[in-house]
Amino acid sequence: MASHGPLVGEFFMNGDEACAEGAISAGCRFFAGYPITPATEIAERMAERLPEVGGTFIQMEDEIASMAAILGGSWGGVKSMTATSGPGFSLMMENIGLGAMMETPCVVADVQRAGPSTGLPTLTAQGDMMQARWGSHGLYGIIALSPSSPQEMFTLTIKAFNLSEKYRVPVLIMGDESVAHMSEKVTIPPPEQLEIFPRRKTSLPPEEYLPYKPDADLVPPMANAGEGYFYHVTGLTHDERGYPDMSAEAQQKLVRRLIDKIDLNKKDIIEIEEDQIDGAEVVVCSYGISARVALLAVKAAREEGVKVGMLRLITVWPFPDERIRQIAGKVKAFVVPELNAGQIALEVERCVAGKAKTILVPHMGGAVHDPKVILEAIKKAAK
Amino acid sequence: MNGNGKDDHIETGFLLRQDRLPHIWCPGCGLGTVLQSFLRALVKSELPLEKVAIVSGIGCTGRVAGYVKLDSFHTTHGRAIPFATGLKLANPEMKVVVFSGDGDLTSIGGNHLIHAARRNMDLTVICVNNFIYGMTGGQVAPTTPVNARTSTSPLGNFEPAFNLPNLVTAAGATYVARWTAIHVRRLENTMTEALHKKGFSFVEVITPCPTHYGRKNRQGSGLTQLKYYRDNSVIKHGAQLGEVGIGMTDPITVGKFVDIERPTFSDLQSRIRSPKTAAEVQSTKK
Ligand code: SF4
């Protein structure tokens, strides 16, 4: 199969298409998915593009199968991805947990729509943010990114693959319908200008290799299937050999590490964007499409003389606790606009721990906020 | 057993994770025998071992993956086939074997089973059918024969059972066979053939679960169950698939039912691939 490189140049495309192109630029060569609005265009684009770059696309029978298939694809040695929206994301949860337990690098794009249940299939929301963190049963660390533009659907998809290979964890791209369906200029740099984190391969021979013995950063190096390592991988609690170990001690050691490998590497993982936080009286904390809308309100508030800063979460999970704590001591309030009834606002409130007010600007989804509502919240908070 | 002395000395111990033994299976369980047949088949197949992976779901049979010294994956309940599908598509040189129980493959995993057969995904699926859920304590399965007692059909099962060879053949499997745990040599030969088959091969193995199915249905020990299979199995290669369903006391039809050629998912997929140059791709995308 001839392999052609990724696209290079400037394009006008929507967020879903940009996500697919980001995946291809990141080296993703296996996509298993199931159609669902508003994520379908990612699958459609992959169906067209993967054969062109020597990759494989398969439309599976459902989302559960899609998630299981990308775990298999990743162990087969190929960067793998799926894309879905809320209902499908719910179905994927068990195998996202398996991915976390087996420490399988892979990327899941959840293009959020309004729920619960079938909700508003073609309209935007940010209602899956807590599901992204806690959706699968048990305890584990996870990484979730939140793009605000088609360009970020591209760049953050690459980042998602990089983090996923680096920390051996499923990485979630928490898009939303608005970002997925808006078309804007997307710049795709030449491959040599992109930073791509390769798979963490073991340098040990099979006799010495322990598949779950971590490096200093708590992440174990990997061997792909078919390379003669003859390892066992299981969703059961396991020891460093990968063998099931049904003891509280093994659970403590393994699950603690699955959480710590994300927590203790927060500095490396977390990316936030800040604007005029120093000297601010109020800080707006938002993400995804809501952050873009909030920016209009922030600008309007500044014109009216309010000292307001903006904190945009690019990485949502792990949560930037430390930075929010630092800011909390210096401002009156955080204003948190989000397209749900307050999921990330709870996290902000937790970090602020009473040192400032947390003002949620909720919206049940179906549309984006009216910037005026956010402006009013900012002005009220500044008083 | 088959009178061919040289076959009796196939060394299979090196294929087991000896450091994980003893296994968790009950005395008299058929799983050990089925696994042994598989290991012998694997040796006879002469496939390079580093290119063979085994994937299983959950349950007693799901534990097989943990005892075999291959790249082995113990996945979620019912999802061994899609996991194996991803592994195979990512690494086409590998022979991927799904080794799992009837509940795993045909109940929670039923959707994946029929779709993998429909696509003729290049996988070997070994379905250990003991008519019951073993690990969760003997509940009714989609394979439980009518009138059989289980802990969730205490008055006797009234739901019709799947005829698995018929099901997977209708869905598109290109190799379908059934044996019982007493047919160790035939099973071994069938598994060897299945391992070499390109396409979706399905081997059903009727296996005793003395702890649950045997006890609840007064079928006695594992050995008694095996004797029952010996006395009540009818070998009928190429049997009419509509007629190979399994009842409580009917004879069990065994044999090789299907062995046909049909392009696999990957064959068909590579046919439709028409690589464009990077420049062509760009001009269509601008
Ligand atoms: S419960 Fe049944 S299937 Fe499971 S190990 Fe015991 S005998 Fe075998």
Using a 6 Å CB cutoff, which residues line ligand 1? B 25-26, 29, 31, 60, 130, 134-135, 209-212
CA distance B163 to B167: 6
Q: Distance from the CA of B121 to the center of ligand 1, in angstroms?
A: 29
Specify the pLDDT at position B165: 98
Give residue B199's Cα distance to chain centre: 14
Structure tokens at A136: 């699968």
Give the nearest chain A residue to B279 (CA atoms).
A7
Q: What pairs with residue A81 in β-bridges?
A: A31, A107
CA distance A304 to B224: 88
A137 to chain B, any CB pair closer than 8 A? The answer is no
CA distance B209 to B25: 10
CA distance A164 to A187: 23
DSSP string, A33-60: E---TTTHHHHHHHHHHHHHTT-EEEE-
Dump pLDDT digits (tens) for A55-87: 999 999 999 999 999 999 999 999 999 999 999
Specify the pLDDT at position A283: 98
CA distance A311 to A321: 13
CB contact under 8 A, B85 and A4: no
Task: Find residues 176-205 of chain B whose CB sits inside 8 Å of chain A.
Answer: none
Contact B10, B38 (CB under 8 A): no
A61 to chain B, any CB pair closer than 8 A? The answer is yes
B109 chain-A contacts, CB cut-off 8 A: none
Structure tokens at A314: 């690019």
B20 chain-A contacts, CB cut-off 8 A: 243
Helix, strand, coil abundance in chain A, percent, nearest 5: 40, 20, 40
Specify the pLDDT at position A27: 97
Report ipTM (2 d.p.): 0.97
- In tens digits, chain B (286 residues) has pLDDT values of 444 555 578 999 999 999 999 999 999 999 999 999 999 999 999 999 999 999 999 999 999 999 999 999 999 999 999 999 999 999 999 999 999 999 999 999 999 999 999 999 999 999 999 999 999 999 999 999 999 999 999 999 999 999 999 999 999 999 999 999 999 999 999 999 999 999 999 999 999 999 999 999 999 999 999 999 999 999 999 999 999 999 998 999 999 999 999 999 999 998 876 555 444 444 444 4
Closest ligand 1 atom to residue B211 Cα is 7
B70 to chain A, any CB pair closer than 8 A? The answer is yes
CA distance B254 to B249: 15
Tell me the mean pLDDT in the region A319-336.
98
